[in-house]
Amino acid sequence: MITYADFEAVDIRVGTITRAEPFPEARKPAIKLWVDFGGEIGEKRSSAQITKHYTPEGLIGKQVLAVVNFPPRQIGKVMSEVLVLGMPDADGEVVLVRPDLLVPNGGKLF
C-alpha cells in the first residue's frame, strides 16, 4: 500500500497533442507524440503503443494525461520525456486516459 505522500510525488498533468507521427522503428507498433503541457512544462515528447485505436492524424488536438516527472527514457531513436497514460480495453489494447471536458494544459491531477 502507498501513502498519500507517495501519490503526491507522481506529477500527472494534462496536455494537448500537437504533433503525432508513426514510429515504425519501435519494437512494438507505436506513435511518436509531442504534447503541450503549457507554460510551466512546455512541449514534451513521448512514444505510445496506441496504434490499435488511434492514428497519428486523429490524435492532433486531443488532450491526454501523462506523468511528467519521470526521468527521460530512450525508446529506440526517441527520447521519451513523459509517460502518456492509458488503460487496456477488453483485448488488452491501450485506450488513452483523457479528461471528458476541455481543461487548461498543465493542469495537475489531484
pLDDT tens digits, residue range 13-65? 999 999 999 998 888 899 999 999 999 999 999 999 999 999 999 999 999 99
Q: How many CA atoms lie within 13 A of 10 on its CB side?
A: 14
What is the reported pTM?
A: 0.94
pLDDT tens digits, residue range 66-80? 999 999 999 888 999
Contacts of 86 (CB under 8 A, 6+ apart): 48, 50, 94, 95, 96, 97
Contacts of 87 (CB under 8 A, 6+ apart): 94, 95, 97
Residue ranges and CATH numbers for the domains of the chain are: 12-96 (2.40.50.140)
